[in-house]
Structure formats: C-alpha cells, structure tokens
A and B are shown apart, each in its own frame.
Chain A
Amino acid sequence: MSTPVMELSGISKRFGAVQALNEVDLQVASGEVVALLGDNGAGKSTLVKAIAGVSPADSGTVTWDGRPVTISKPGDAQRLGIATIYQDLALCDNLDIVANLFLGAERTVLGTLDELEMERRARALLDSLSVQLPSLRVPVASLSGGQRQIVAIARSLLGDPRVVMLDEPTAALGVAQTAQVLDLIERLRDQGLGVLLISHNMADVRAVADRAAVLRLGRNAGDFPVQETSYEEIVAAITGAADNPVTRRTGHVSVSGTEEA
C-alpha cells in the first residue's frame, strides 16, 4: 500500500464525562476504500466530524501527505481536500441539479450567473463518473434516493478533493440504487481518491471496501483487509465478542502488524 494521504493518530475527544474517542488511529491512502465500522455510539460520527473540522478533536495529530496539519474548522478540511457527504445530503429540493452542484460556488459572468458554463462543467463531471441522470435541469426533489446521493457526491468532487468521507450512503436505498452508489465508490477509487465509507451494512462493505477499520466504544478495535477476513471476524470486532484480554492481546499484535505494512 502506498503512503497514506491522511493519517490520524491518537485522536481523542471528550464530551463532558463521556470519552467519545480515545486515542484513535486511522489511515486512508489514495485509491483505497476504507470502511469505518462500529456499533451505535462507537464514535464513528464523532471521528468524521473531527476530520471534517465540524467538531475538532481535543488532542491527537493529523498528518496530510506526511506533513502535520491542524483541522480546527470546516474550511481547513476543505482546503486540504477532504470532502464530507453527510446522511442528510444537504441538497435543496427546489433547485435543479446544476444549481445544487454549484450551490455556494456559483460561476458568474459580468455579475450574472453563468448558467451555460455551470451546466457544461456539471455535464463533464457527471460524464466522468459515468452517471446517467435524466436531465440536469430537473429539481432535485424529483430524483430517486440513489440519484440524490450521487448528486451530493458529485457536488463534493467539484472542489477536487483527495479524500471523500461518506456517512451511510446506502442506508434507505433500494437494491438497484445501492448498486449505483457502490459503482460510484468504485469509480472514485479508480480515479485515485481515498474513500472513507461509514456503513452498517456488511454486504456493502464487503462489496467495495479494501480495508475495514472497526471502532468500539471510542477505541480502535481492529483493522482488517476485507477480502481476506471473514464476515464473522469483523462482526466479532464490532460487537466485542472477541473482547477478552487474551484475544485483545493477539488482536493488538495483528493490528500493529498491518499498520507497519
């Protein structure tokens, strides 16, 4: 595996009496899909918010391309090239696809919106992702759940990110739509982006992820190469079924082993 684009080490975050993240490590390389797994309350969302700068970590270091950086606000993460797509997608239902893609980053010419240029760029972007949408000028409200997810992901790509974080992109989608989103994730990987995929669905994770990083109660609970690890092993790490002192010690050895590789 190439050197990671983004490397987190010792990330901790506390909300009052609750230690939400405790010395968490995570790496994402370019052209790699990493699944971030964990039960409810394991700290997945907290970690994503810390990376995105929405709710910065209390301590720990973030290394970007081998250089230490600080992420203290969302703008920092965006400038580095981290794009985050949250579950609610933050699309404006009444606006069309082009307007949504360029929301907040509208192109203007002589003080008016440059609709032609925006539509041309939108089309080029969606074509590069082999995405088929009926028309770029229909309101987003008329799109299916999968298409909305795709528009939200495409919007994040306009800033030329290097790491894309997807929070539950396939929750509440039908089978064919989920397949479209998985296709898109594969294409992001083919284009050399690092993808951090948060999901509860083990089938989806096994279909696209290269590695699975598991969090449990705010700590690292394992880092598995997905293709070579059985479903049961990963589920055991998520639920803590393997969580007794003996297995934790052996588990720890294998974790540090994969980190060195």
Chain B
Amino acid sequence: MSDVEVTPGTQAALRQANQQRVIEALRAGGTLTQAELARATGLSAASVSNIVRDLRERGTVSVRQTSSHGRRARGVTLVRPPGAVVGISFSPDRISVALGDGRGTVLARETIAYDVAVGPERGVRRAVWLTETLLGRARAERSMVTAVGVSLPAPVDTTTGEILGVSCLPRWDGYRPSEGLSERIGLPVVVENDANLCALEETRAGVGRGRKHVIYLCLSHGVGAGIIVSGRLLRGAGGTAGEIGHMGLDERGQVCRCGNRGCLETVAGAPYILDMLPRYGDAGAPATVTEMVEAAAVWDPGARRIIAEAGAALGRATAILANAVNPELVIVGGELAAAGELLLEPMRRSMELETLSTALDNLSIVQAELGEEAALRGALRMASSVTEEPE
C-alpha cells in the first residue's frame, strides 16, 4: 500500500497491517459502515476511524453519510472505477436481479417468485422494487450504475423495443419494457430475448466457448432458439428469428396458443407436457418440469415417454434449422434440459433421420452449462456493452 519501507514489529508496521485488514474487509464487503468495519476486522472503533481518515486522504476510499438501523453512520467504500451494471431476468414465474461490476463478476443477486404474466405494469414495478432493494442492500448508489440489461421470455422488436405477438406473456404484447423500466429506474435500459442472451452467454463463457455456429434451444414455458451464425446473433428483420416453438410439426396435433395446430411447443412447452402427464389420484403428478424430470430420472415411465417424445420433436425441428444454418453445436438449455440423455438421445436419433449427413458430420448436441444463470449473466454483459459502444 504505502511505498515507505517499514521495520517489522514497529507501530508503523502494525498500522500498515491494520490498514490492509480494513481494505481487505472492504474488498469483500463492498460498502461497510465504520461500525461494521470494526466488527469485521476486530479493530477498535477509534482505530478504524483513524485508518479510514488516512485512507480517505489518500483517495483509497470514499466516505459518505448514511444510516444503519435508523442511526447515522458513515459508509466507507473502496474507490474503484465506476461502471457497475444491473441485469434483470424475467421468467413467467419469477424475477431475478443481479448487480455486476461490468467485467462479468456478479457482486450481488436476488430472485423472487412473481407472477410476471399478470401484466407488464406490475411486473415492471416489482422488478424496479427488487432492483432498488438489491442496490440498497449492497449499499450501491444508483449513480454507480451505468446501464440495465433485461432478459425477457418473449420476442422483442429490434427497432421499436416492443414485445411481439404470441409469447408466454400474452399481456405484455405491444408493451415497451425498455421505456417503462428506464422511466422508473432513471437509467438506460436494453432489452433482449432470453434465448438470444443464453446463446450469447453460452458461447462466451459456457459450453460453447470459442464456437461460431451455434444454436441454443431454450426449453422452458415456451420453446425458443438463439441462433449464432459466424459468431453473430441472428435477429432477423423484426427480431423474431429463432421463435422455433411455433414450427408446425404435426397437422393432427393439438391447437397451439398461437392459433396453429401441432406446433413444436405443443409437445415440448412446459404447460403442454405437464398436461400430458397421467394422473395417479390425489398425490398427483409432478407440478413443475423440474419435478417431472426428477420423476423420470428415478423411474416414472409416463414422464420418460413424454420427455422422449419432446426430444424427438425437438430433433425434427432442429434438423430443419441444421439443414438451413449448418451449426457446429446445438446447446439444449432450460428446465427440461436437465433430463439429459433421456431427452438428448431421442433428439439425436430423429436428427439423424432428417438432417443432411454432411451437416451432421461436425455437429454435436450438448446440455447447457450455465443453467438459468445464463440469461441473467447475459443481461449483465449486454448492459456493460451498452456503455462501451458510443451512441
């Protein structure tokens, strides 16, 4: 820390060691009050106060008035380059928010259960609450945050920022989440489809590292794909590229919420496959895809059959994509992907039947690595890239 050599065992050496402890505590804890610093380091309140004064004079830390448990307190923060970012990930049944430092590290995160489908106003209001609460608990100032990245389980129009058409959030149709959020949070907001963010994140930091031609399948409430061609995300003219959930596969199948019949989603989307489960009386069938996957892993032949059929249908849909795009890697993510080979094996088999053998030669199908973190981390990364690119 200091450039002056000190003799071991002297007062000066002790002071320097104590300073180092305070800095280590701040590095681990973000912003701490002086009382918390004293507890964390075991130093007396008076020594902490002296050390903080010295550090402040040298510009190592910043100090500001705050309150802790209703009392006045001094919040101490290490001065570091600004540029914190916030990532928000909406799922139909929950909201996650993370605070990141702009280089991919997650500093704090929280998830709450919330019925996001109830409507955009409420969903956005609650997401803003979660963001404010997270920032408050991490003692981070809003002014430290440069941008907010948002992941939504719905296609987003690339030019207007509107939520498009049929998605698992029907009441969000036509809503512009970036406007609603940025008005309330007071920060620039960028919004992207969850499958696209997962695809980008898995190719940067997950199982698809270094690959340039990748299809990411997001198997959740709906079925979506993020398609990366030559290292770039394929968005399409309006932003709906990759909405493979509504590929028609079975003209005698179920009617889909989109109005067509036999879409991929009717055999692989969460609400449809849960409906297919045979009922065994009161004790009941699994209520979530995760429970269903667990049941299948143990034994449940009904769940296994449904997962296998979902895999076969996914294989047929992916075969069409593979013939068109010729990817080197297909990554399967989302809750249903946890079924592993129960899903992937039938998927490979049906792909073998319907994909050009030349397209198949260099193609592997793997399970996603980052799980549900991918969307949130992708949102953080998108937010930090907003500040890098000049407007």
Give the residue of A40, A176, A180, A207 whose beta carbon is less than 8 angstroms from that of B129: A207
Q: Are A179 and B113 in contact (CB under 8 A)?
A: yes
> What does DSSP make chain B's interface, helix, strand, loop or mixed?
helix
Known A175-B112, A183-B114: A40·B70 in contact at CB below 8 Å: yes
Query: Does chain B have a CB within 8 A of A30?
Result: no
- Mind listing 12 A-B residue pairs with CB under 8 Å? A175-B112, A175-B130, A175-B134, A179-B114, A179-B126, A200-B70, A203-B132, A206-B125, A206-B129, A206-B132, A207-B125, A207-B126
Known A40-B70, A182-B126: A203·B136 in contact at CB below 8 Å: yes
Q: Residue of B at shortest CB range from A170? A: B133
- Interface code A26-61, partner B: CB below 8 Å = 1, 0 otherwise? 000000000000001000000000000000000000
Query: Does chain B have a CB within 8 A of A178?
Result: yes
Contacts of A182 in B (CB 8 A): 126, 129
Task: Give CA–CA (A202, B133) in the complex, Å.
Answer: 10
Contacts of A243 in B (CB 8 A): none
Contacts of A7 in B (CB 8 A): none
Contacts of B114 in A (CB 8 A): 179, 183
Contacts of A204 in B (CB 8 A): 129
**In the A-B complex, the 3 residue pairs with the closest CB atoms:** A207-B129, A179-B112, A203-B132
Which residues from chain A sit less than 8 Å from chain B, CB to CB? 40, 175-176, 178-180, 182-183, 186, 200, 202-204, 206-207
Q: Are A175 and B110 in contact (CB under 8 A)?
A: yes
Give the residue of B111, B122, B137 whose beta carbon is less than 8 angstroms from that of A176: B111
Q: B65 to chain A: closest CB distance in Å?
A: 13
Contacts of A202 in B (CB 8 A): 132
Given A175-B110, A179-B114, list of 7 further CB < 8 A pairs?
A: A175-B112, A175-B130, A176-B110, A179-B126, A206-B125, A207-B126, A207-B128
Contacts of A207 in B (CB 8 A): 125-126, 128-129
B48-81 with Cβ < 8 A to chain A: 70
Most buried by A among B113, B125, B129, B136: B129
Task: Give CA–CA (A84, B112) in the complex, Å.
Answer: 27
Q: A79 to chain B: closest CB distance in Å?
A: 34
Q: Are A176 and B132 in contact (CB under 8 A)?
A: no
Contacts of A206 in B (CB 8 A): 125, 128-129, 132
Contacts of B113 in A (CB 8 A): 176, 179-180
Give the residue of A40, A175, A180, A200 whose beta carbon is less than 8 angstroms from that of B137: A175
Task: Give CA–CA (A175, B137) in the complex, Å.
Answer: 9
Q: B266 to chain A: closest CB distance in Å?
A: 28
Task: Give CA–CA (A178, B129) in the complex, Å.
Answer: 11
Task: Give CA–CA (A178, B133) in the complex, Å.
Answer: 10
Task: Give CA–CA (A204, B70) in the complex, Å.
Answer: 17
Most buried by A among B110, B128, B130: B130
Known A175-B134, A186-B122: A203·B129 in contact at CB below 8 Å: yes
Q: Residue of A at shortest CB range from B111? A: A176
Q: A122 to chain B: closest CB distance in Å?
A: 20
Contacts of B129 in A (CB 8 A): 179, 182, 203-204, 206-207
Task: Give CA–CA (A40, B126) in the complex, Å.
Answer: 27
Q: B96 to chain A: closest CB distance in Å?
A: 11
- Interface code B114-134, partner A: CB below 8 Å = 1, 0 otherwise? 100000001001101110111
Task: Give CA–CA (A204, B132) in the complex, Å.
Answer: 9
Contacts of A178 in B (CB 8 A): 133
Task: Give CA–CA (A40, B71) in the complex, Å.
Answer: 11
Contacts of B126 in A (CB 8 A): 179, 182, 207
Task: Give CA–CA (A186, B112) in the complex, Å.
Answer: 15
Task: Give CA–CA (A57, B133) in the complex, Å.
Answer: 36
Task: Give CA–CA (A43, B277) in the complex, Å.
Answer: 57
Q: A167 to chain B: closest CB distance in Å?
A: 15
Task: Give CA–CA (A204, B133) in the complex, Å.
Answer: 8
Task: Give CA–CA (A217, B211) in the complex, Å.
Answer: 65
Q: Are B112 and A176 in contact (CB under 8 A)?
A: yes
Task: Give CA–CA (A176, B114) in the complex, Å.
Answer: 10
Task: Give CA–CA (A176, B110) in the complex, Å.
Answer: 8
Q: Are A203 and B122 in contact (CB under 8 A)?
A: no
Q: Residue of A at shortest CB range from B137? A: A175
Contacts of B132 in A (CB 8 A): 202-203, 206
Task: Give CA–CA (A169, B111) in the complex, Å.
Answer: 20
Q: A217 to chain B: closest CB distance in Å?
A: 18
Contacts of A40 in B (CB 8 A): 70
Task: Give CA–CA (A182, B137) in the complex, Å.
Answer: 18
Q: Residue of A at shortest CB range from B142? A: A231
Task: Give CA–CA (A228, B129) in the complex, Å.
Answer: 16
Task: Give CA–CA (A116, B308) in the complex, Å.
Answer: 44
Q: Residue of B at shortest CB range from A226? A: B125
Q: Are A203 and B70 in contact (CB under 8 A)?
A: no
